[in-house]
Amino acid sequence: MSQPENSIRTYLCAADSLRRGGLGLRFEVHAGGEVLPAFVVRHMQGVSAFINRCAHRDLELDWSPGEFFDLESKWLICATHGAHYDPNTGDCQSGPCNGAGLTALSIIEEAGGIYLVDPRYHTPPNRIEANP
């Protein structure tokens, strides 16, 4: 994703810490007084970040911390009801999400790091979780 003009960059992790189809990095973002769980993953098309909230129910997706992909590492999957999401766009692919997708976050991968550059959200200090 491209960097919005005049945005603040928040370092999330080293780019090489995310393996394609592997564990994602969990972190939190703040927006409008609300603290929201979020995550970033590497997939076949690059890296993407989303609010960690299933479109079907207000539940986090991961099976256990950082496990967002299905067994084939093709789709992001909701551990509770099995909704499948495109890891590049967050669009619903199948399941009870009924066409509703994940909320994407603007990030960039640059100079060996992955940064949140979404003007709608900011990260609180020291709230990024390391991969287990």
Tens of pLDDT, residues 46-75: 999 999 999 888 899 998 999 999 999 999
Query: Does residue 2 lie within any of the structural domains?
Result: no
| Cβ burial, residue 93 (10 Å; 0-12/13-18/19+) | middle
Distance CA 132, CA 124 (A): 20
Q: What is the pLDDT of residues 88-132, one digit of tens each?
A: 999 999 988 877 899 999 999 999 999 999 999 988 765 555 544
Number of domains in the chain: 1
pLDDT of res. 98: 77
Query: Does residue 19 lie within any of the structural domains?
Result: yes
**CA distances to 15, 65, 79, 106, 114 from 10, in Å:** 13, 21, 28, 11, 8
Confidence label for 30 from pLDDT (cuts 50, 70 and 90): very high
Please give the residue that has the higher pLDDT: either 124 or 24.
Answer: 24
Q: What is the CATH number of the domain that holds 103?
A: 2.102.10.10
Query: Does residue 125 lie within any of the structural domains?
Result: no
Q: Is this prediction's pTM over 0.85?
A: yes
Please give the residue range of the domain that contains residue 19.
Answer: 10-116
